[in-house]
Amino acid sequence: MTTNFSIRHFGIVVQNIDESLFFYENLLGFKVFKKMEECGPEISTFLGIKNVKVTTIKMRNQLNQMIELLYYQEQAHKNDVFINQLGPTHLALSVSNLDDLYQNFKKQNIEFISSPIITDNKFAKVAFCKAPEGTFIELVEEL
């Protein structure tokens, strides 16, 4: 039996929904297409969290790629995030004019690991920034 897979979305648990919406919508260009307040036995069962209440916000970019912001009514577990930890570590986005984007993000007090750097193979210019909840965002401009 063969099953085909495609990536549906990337889920991001956020601590401050307003900061995160501003970042993903106004800085990265994702647009909200569905917002729900979810609770009840079904979601509690498949998440494995008793009496869970979560706001989910599904967003798409101009290429129809989707992310989902999740804001739990109960405080989410805060972990330090490291770029070299096991498991998923970042969301990579293709961008145009990374230098201008970098300057704009810096004006918005977005934290970066470094300024944009051209890769050794001269294929791309890359910079990593952090979203408000701590997710690393890799911004890649192909040269």
pLDDT in tens, 44-62: 898 888 899 999 999 999 9
pLDDT at residue 108, as a whole number: 95
- Residue 57 tokens, joined: 């916000």
Asked whether the beta carbons of 35 and 59 are under 8 A apart, the reply is no
**What pTM, to 2 d.p., does this model score?**
0.86
Q: What confidence tens digit (pLDDT) does each residue in 28-47 have?
A: 999 999 999 999 999 889 88
CA atoms of 21 and 107, how far apart (whole Å) = 17
Could you say which DSSP state residue 112 is in? B
* Single-letter residue type at 36: M
Asked whether the beta carbons of 95 and 105 are under 8 A apart, the reply is no
- Residue 25 tokens, joined: 């919508």
